[in-house]
Amino acid sequence: MLEGTLVRLRAPQRADIPLFVKWFNDPETTRFLLRGPPMGMEEEEAWYDSLVNKDMKVFCIETLDGRLVGNIGVISIDWTNRKADIGIIIGEKECWSKGYGTEAITLLLGYLFDEMNLERVWLYCDMENNRARRCYEKCGFRQDGVFRHNRLQGGKFRDDALLSILKQDWLENNPRP
């Protein structure tokens, strides 16, 4: 478990699945994600059962008073090149813009760079998702490029930014004692 001043990151539990399904079936919540609704219980249970994959690590984002508000995870790890891609969702809309995502990303980056000794962490971000882009930039991510018409969602092609942060960038902004 990783804990900050606003949130803790903990392992997901089977009892969390109904809340995940609720989030992933809300078009407003999934508007900027690489995947949208619909999602059923069986599909989410199969995903949960697949979490034993060594190249994927998912954490629940929970407030310090125990409220589950989102997920953050390492989608895949390239051990040879010491890099990983991550994704995040704050599923509880009333918890948007409260700093939970920023702290969750900061906690995860600390784990990935300090504990797992990765060199680079990257993610995709919908070009229109200004709230997420501000969050990522606060955490130290920089834009590497744009994938034009990267995916079709809601009948519209969407552009995605590729953002990354290097261990050196992380250490410059988070010096060690």
Copy the structure tokens of residue 86. Answer: 């991550």
Is 4's pLDDT higher than 70?
yes
Could you give the residue ranges of the DSSP H alpha helices within 15-59?
17-24, 27-30, 41-49
Give the pTM.
Answer: 0.89
Region 153-163 average pLDDT:
90
The 10 Å CB-count burial string (b at 16+, else e) for 30-41 is bebbeebeebee
Which pLDDT value is given to residue 33? 74
Full set of structural domains in the chain with CATH: 2-173 (3.40.630.30)
What is d(CA 127, CA 132) in angstroms, rounded to the nearest whole number? 10
Model confidence band, residue 37 (pLDDT cutoffs 50, 70, 90): low
Which pLDDT value is given to residue 21? 82
Is 44's pLDDT higher than 90?
no
Residue 35 backbone dihedrals phi, psi, to 5 degrees: -135, 140
